[in-house]
Amino acid sequence: MGLPKKLTEQQMKFAYELVTNEGRKTATECAVDAGFAKDSARQYASKLQNPKLYPLVVKYIGELREEWQKKYEVTYEKHIAELGQIRKDALKKGAWSAAVNAEVARGKAAGLYIEQKIIRTGKLEDLTTEELESRMKKIIDDYSPILEDVPFEDIKEKVREKTKPQKDERGSQSQKDSLHLSDAADGEDIPVGE
């Protein structure tokens, strides 16, 4: 008995199912969908992918894969055209957000947008007094509409007063802690919430 010279309908359907559903269906499921009996589909799926047993089927699967990859290959031209079509369809349906997103994606693909991210590390403690004051002034300027006409110098002075070390009853300096009450009955700090 010699090798068959052409594929059967079932073999061609199996190859097509296998290639078009790659990653979504198992080879056994593809064999069942191609018309093989459920109880023997696993064996047929395995045999049909064996080049020693079915070289024509394996060759056909390879040709289909190549054709499928060429058809759905992502190139710059295809990508831009597809995004343009998506935008066009979205506009027809009145989906403005989807249309804008498609157009932005086209612009990014064309290199019209450059995304820049700057990551800075460091602590406020590392800044000089002048840099801190400059930052404070910028924050105050940015939020001046919600501040009730309080001048920068007044805010700066209030910040300095709050951060100054204060003397306790024994005369030693201590940093005031905003989480403690200093006016307790016996004069000792009491943690808030305790």
Model confidence pLDDT, tens digit, residues 68-79: 888 877 778 888
Task: Flag whether the pTM goes above 0.95.
Answer: no
What residue spans of the chain are helical by DSSP H?
Answer: 9-20, 27-33, 41-48, 55-71, 76-93, 96-110, 129-142, 152-163
Nearest CA to 166 out of 152, 178, 154 is that of 178
Please identify which residue in the block is written with the tokens 């004069």.
Answer: 187
Range scoring the smallest mean pLDDT among 61-65, 94-98, 117-121, 180-184: 180-184
Distance CA 147, CA 150 (A): 6
pLDDT tens digits, residue range 97-128? 988 888 888 888 877 777 777 666 667 777 78
